Amino acid sequence: MLLERAYAKINLTLDVLRRRPDGYHEVDMVMQSIDLSDLVWLDCRSDSEIVLDLNAGHIPSDERNLAVQAAMLFRKYTGIRAGVQINLEKNIPVAAGLAGGSSDAAAVLRGLNRLFDTGLTSDELADMGAEIGSDVPFCIYGGTAIARGRGEVLERIAHPCHLYVLLIYPRVFVSTADIYQALQPTDFVTAVQSERMVQALMEQDVDAVPYLVHNVMQHVTFAAYPGVKQLADKVESVTRHPVHMSGSGPTLFCLAPTVQQANRMYNALRGVMRDVHLSHFVSNISNSGDGEV
């Protein structure tokens, strides 16, 4: 049995350039892995089934699950017929804008490549992953990247900047497709924010980074779910720091340059609300598995 960690992401910037004829949107966004992960255990089975056991009753364990889709795709691509056992421990909130499902799919692709010693490159796994979802290619590599196209065209960024991330989970389910659909032409931009963000990350300008975070979807999700906006206002008044939304939401986050500041914000928030979690940037997930067990 082999373990792969499936890391969550946040969007440090998210710009949408236009709606495409294929129904997707052209995006430009800075994606960042964080130290919040699902655990994906993989093993061969003596039969030819793909079986997923997971600790979350509210998500399907059949072909609708992105982890199962990844195993199916991997077998189709490699011609391997062996059965696959997947045990999934969900820690990343579902439909939260943190790419939990995409990251599980990416972890299955990385893990099966190790389990069957198929020697596929990360680029090949990312190409495969794009068939499952737009965020899957980023989740193959993790770290930091500018994602363009529909999210699958990646420019990976190595930078020394490390920040703490306070995550706040509103208890609502947000559909990514609905939020993309609700964008108006006035939301589409030509000048994107990713380059300034990347520059600040490269310069380790930890004080600037929180003020450069930008997400064009935030006002759309806030308008559709006023409770999320109210929660963001409350977080801002308690922490006195800018509050942002990841992806299509609803997860909110604040960035802190030091662990002391992050702990202060965490303790202040825990006094007045549930569902607060402290995390931090992860720059390298390449040895994310904990090896054979």
Ligand X SMILES: C[C@@](CO)(OP(=O)(O)O)[C@H](O)COP(=O)(O)OP(=O)(O)OC[C@H]1O[C@@H](n2ccc(N)nc2=O)[C@H](O)[C@@H]1O
Ligand Y SMILES: Nc1ncnc2c1ncn2[C@@H]1O[C@H](COP(=O)(O)OP(=O)(O)O)[C@@H](O)[C@H]1O
Q: Which residues are catalytic?
A: 9, 135
**Amino acid making up residue 211:** Y
Query: Any bridge partners for residue 15, and if so which?
Result: 28
Is 228 within 8 Å of 172 (Cβ atoms)?
yes
CB within 8 Å of 193: residues ≥ 6 apart:
13, 15, 212, 214
**Region at 16 (left for phi over 0; alpha for psi -120 to 50; beta for the rest):** beta
Closer by beta carbon to ligand X, 2 or else 165: 165
53 binds ligand Y, rule: CB under 6 A = no
Is residue 107 part of the contact set for ligand Y (CB under 6 A)?
A: no
96 counts as binding ligand Y under rule CB under 6 A: yes
Q: By the 8 A CB rule, do 1 and 43 touch?
A: yes
By the 8 A CB rule, do 137 and 151 touch?
yes
Contact 244, 235 (CB under 8 A): no
Beta carbons within 10 angstroms of residue 280's beta carbon:
16
**Which range touches ligand Y (CB under 6 A), out of 20-28, 91-99, 136-144, 264-272?**
91-99
Q: Give the span between the Cα atoms of 99 and 93, in whole angstroms.
A: 9
Of residues 34, 97, 255, 256, which one binds ligand Y by CB under 6 A? 97
Residue facing ligand X at closest CB distance: 247
User: Least distance from C-beta 79 to ligand Y, angstroms?
Assistant: 25
Q: Choose among ligand X, ligand Y, none what residue 11 binds, the Cβ cut-off being 5 to 8 Å by kind.
A: ligand X
| 262 marked among binding-site residues | no
- Measured CA to CA, the distance from residue 180 to residue 263 in angstroms comes to 34
Only one of the segments 13-21, 63-71, 188-196, 257-265 lies at the binding site for ligand Y (rule: CB under 6 A); that segment is: 63-71
Residue nearest to ligand Y (CB): 101
- The reply, when asked if residue 248 is annotated as ligand binding, is no
What pairs with residue 167 in β-bridges?
A: 253, 277
**Cα dist from 135 to 6, 9, 281, whole Å:** 13, 9, 18
226 contacts: CB under 8 Å, gap ≥ 6 = none
> Applying CB under 6 A, does 170 fall inside the site for ligand Y?
no
Binder of ligand Y out of 87, 118, 122, 176 (CB under 6 A): 176
Choose from ligand X, ligand Y, none: what does 95 bind? Cβ within 5-8 Å by kind. ligand Y
Q: How far is the CB of 258 from ligand X (least distance, A)?
A: 27
Closest CA to 157 of 12, 6, 4, 8: 12
193 contact choice in ligand Y, ligand X, none (CB below 5 to 8 Å, kind-dependent)? none
Annotated binding residue 271:
no
The one among 13, 33, 65, 193 contacting ligand Y by CB under 6 A: 65
- Alpha-carbon distance of 130 to 124, in angstroms, equals 10
Residue 82 labelled as part of a binding site:
no
Query: Which residues of the chain form contacts with ligand X (CB under 6 A)?
Result: 11, 14, 23-25, 27, 29, 97, 99, 102, 133-135, 150-151, 176-177, 180, 247-248
| 140 interface partner picked from ligand Y, ligand X, none, CB below 5 to 8 A per type | none
Minimum Å distance from CB 266 to ligand X? 23
Which residue positions form the known binding site? 93-103
Summarize as ranges the residues that interact with ligand Y (CB under 6 A).
59, 64-67, 94-102, 104, 176, 247-248
Which residue positions form the known binding site for ATP? 93-103
